[in-house]
Amino acid sequence: MHFPEFFLDGLRHMHEDDRRESFLRATWERREELFAWVASDAYLAAHFHARSLPSFLHGGSSSGRMVVMGINPGWSEQENAVSEDPYKLSSPDAYVAFHHEFFDVFPNVIRRGRRPSPWFTKLGRVLSGLLGETAPPAVQRWDFLAARATIQDVIPFNSARDLTRVSDIRSNATLSAICAATLDGLMESQVRCVLAFSKQGYALLRPHLSDREDVVLTDDRGRRVAVSTGRLGSTPCILVDNQVLVQPVIPYADLIPQLRAASARFRGALLG
C-alpha cells in the first residue's frame, strides 16, 4: 500500500501552530486509510496497534517551550483500550483536544478521576531538579510539567508489545522515514530546548547533535550515566543515557545536581 505522504508532511510541520490542527483532523478523517496502511506492513502490524490512532504531541503548542522526546508511546489494556483509544476515536474535536489540551483532558476525562500517569509525574520531578527549583509535591507535579513542557515521541504509534528500539528504526525504511520527518519538524521548530531521558532517546538523537559535549556522571555507588549536550539544528539539546525518571535505583538527589552542572551552558534555554 502506498505510504501516506500526508502523514510525513504533517510530522515535518508538527510544531507549526497554524498547520497542526488541520493535520490532526485530516489524520482522524483518514484513520481507516492509516489503519489499513499499518496493517498492510508486516513489520508495523507486528509491532504496533493497528487501530490505535497515533499520539503526536502531549501538551499542545511547543513554541517557546521545552520538548521532552521519547521513542514511542506504550500501550496497556486499561489505559489505552478502555479509555484513551475510545476518546481519540470519538470525534475529530476529541482527537485535537487530546493533543492540545492533554494535561487537562487526559487525567480528567480519560483517567476518570484516577491519579495522573506516574511517568509524567516523575518527569515533573526531574525537570524541577534540572531547573534548580524545589520539587513540587507529587499531586502538583502534573501541573508543574504542564506549565513547562510539551511531550513528543519520535514514532507516534502505540507499541503492541515492547517499545520501539533505535535498532528497529535504523533497520526499517518506514520507521526511518517517520523518524526523519519527526526530526526535520523539530529542527525547524521554535522550541526552547529538547530533552531526552532514556537510553533509546539518547542513542537516537546523539548522532544528530552539533557542538556536542559528552560527560559521564557517577553516583555515590559508582554507577555511571552518560550525558550529551549539543544542538539539534539550532536548538539546545540535553540527552541522558539512562531512564532517570523510572529507575528508582538511580538516586535522584545524587545525580540531578550533577546533571544540572553538566547542562549549565544551556541554563538560559532551560529557564527561558
Positions of the chain with pLDDT under 70: 1-3, 75-82, 106-118, 138-139, 161-162, 243-253
Alpha-carbon distance of 4 to 26, in angstroms, equals 12
- CA dist 240 to 65, 229, 260, 272, Å? 19, 9, 11, 20
pLDDT given at position 3: 62
Q: What's the grid cell of residue 268?
A: 538560559
* Whole-structure pTM value: 0.88
**The pLDDT value given to residue 1:** 46
Query: Do residues 196 and 202 make contact, with C-beta atoms less than 8 angstroms apart?
Result: yes
The crossing angle, in degrees rounded to 10, of helices 5-12 and 17-29 is 150
pLDDT per residue as tens digits for the range 96-109: 999 998 877 766 44
**For position 110, what pLDDT does the model report?**
43
Residue 78: per-residue pLDDT: 61
- What cell does 13 get? 510541520
pLDDT at site 41: 84
Which pLDDT score is estimated for 40?
A: 87
Give the model's pLDDT for residue 9.
94
